[in-house]
Amino acid sequence: MRRLLLLLLFGIALLALASSVRADVRETRLPLHEGKLRVHDLNAAVCQTLRLPTCPMGGQINVAGQEGQDFLVAFNGCLWRDSSLTINGSEAIVRLTTTPDGKCEAMRRMARLLTAEESPRATAAQARTWGLLLPQQIDPTRPVVILLHGLDADRSDCVPMGELLKACGYQAAFFSYPGEQPIADSADLLARSLQQFHQRFPRTPIDLVAHSMGGLVARCYVEGPDYSGGIDRLVMVAPPNGGSSWARFRSLLSIEENYQLYRWQPDWHWTWLITEGMGEAGGELMPGSDFLKQLNSRPRRPGVRYTIIAGNHSGVSRVEGNCLDGLAHWIPQRIRGWWGFRHCFHKLENSAANLREGSGQSDGPVTIQSAKLKGVNDFIVLPADHASLYLPIDGRPPAAWPVIHDRLK
């Protein structure tokens, strides 16, 4: 199965490179060796067709056995228009067109599925971090507040908000999902989790509080066909309803997240980079994506009270301000009153304060305009950036907390 994974992962790279090549259908015939197809021969045929360097691959596929039949189905399902791999007697016929025609998504999905099958133990360990985590004791007569994290984050990002909720007497739960997979897949996981919840607690109302992309996951469920009811209020903090151009940098977030998991999670495995998703969510977050067009064409769910909280401070400005403040405090205390040093110190401090407190039209990743949603009038703008809206920064509670507390009351 490992060779299938390598082949399909390599195919994803081929699709990306082939997009600039002139469309042309080419046929290559590969001999079978005692009913087996050499992976190297198939790989070489694909690379030569697309005028790419050949990557060495070993192994053989028994095309007459069940594994071979599964491989043919998977491989053909991942190919683009007018392309195919067929077996005719003692040879394999490869027909390839150099026009991918939008089949990259199918290849990504197939790579995730095959990777999960290749490493079931690692996949099971990763899956334990996803889904709905409920309090040990639930009072079914009181609402449960479910917190959702954003892109390339996890449950730990919601813990500070959860502690604030619990301190005020709320029943706080957490929903985690693979941050890189298609947003609709995460919404499906939320739908299944809440269906199971309703089976246990059919009369318990639910409030959803979601940060960043988590707001889109929640909306995709609440406004989708699998909605099972019971949601009283949906609070979205810094939701990119209109997309975010910062999504192109999502790979940096993924590397940081997996580095932290590698350091602190004993069960971490390299396959987690693939089974979490292969960047589909980042592409869907880009302004004008097909996903956003489809999601934003839906009406708001009747009976659900919507609240949107946006920020007008940039996280970049906050970091720059902290850097200037740190630079100012490099000046020793005993000479800060001297002429020249005094002016420099105060100038750096004032510039740092202006950067941290300056307002604009975005919280950094998400603009105020992008956070807006047709049909939602409860829209609040706070002097905070994307992170400080939902997370405690420099010892201060999340800026959105007072509004969230007020709405949940």
pLDDT in tens, 288-298: 999 999 999 99
* Run of H or E residues at 172: strand 171-176
Instruction: Per-residue pLDDT tens, the chain, 409 aa: give them.
Output: 444 444 444 454 444 444 444 456 788 899 998 888 887 787 778 777 766 555 565 677 788 877 677 677 656 655 555 678 888 888 999 887 654 444 456 556 666 766 676 678 887 888 888 999 999 999 999 999 999 999 878 898 999 999 999 999 999 999 999 988 899 999 999 999 999 999 999 999 999 999 999 999 999 999 999 999 999 999 999 999 999 987 766 655 665 666 677 667 787 777 777 777 767 888 899 999 999 999 999 999 999 999 999 999 875 455 555 555 566 566 777 676 776 666 566 665 666 565 455 556 888 889 999 999 999 999 999 999 999 999 998 889 999 999 999 999 8
Is pTM beyond 0.75? Reply is no
Residue type, 236: M
Tell me how crowded residue 196 is: count the other CB atoms within 10 A of its CB.
Answer: 13
Fold annotation for 125-313+361-408: Rossmann fold (3.40.50)
C-alpha 53/C-alpha 380 separation (Å) is 54
Q: Average pLDDT of the chain?
A: 80
Q: How do residues 195-253 score in pLDDT, each as one tens digit?
A: 999 999 999 999 999 999 999 999 999 999 999 999 999 999 999 999 998 776 665 56
C-alpha 361/C-alpha 283 separation (Å) is 23
C-alpha 111/C-alpha 14 separation (Å) is 14
Contact 170, 195 (CB under 8 A): no
C-alpha 147/C-alpha 93 separation (Å) is 52
C-alpha 180/C-alpha 288 separation (Å) is 19
* Run of H or E residues at 75: helix 66-78
Sign of the CA dihedral with 179 first, then 180, 184, and 188 last = negative
C-alpha 84/C-alpha 406 separation (Å) is 58
Tell me how crowded residue 262 is: count the other CB atoms within 10 A of its CB.
Answer: 12
Contact 238, 386 (CB under 8 A): yes
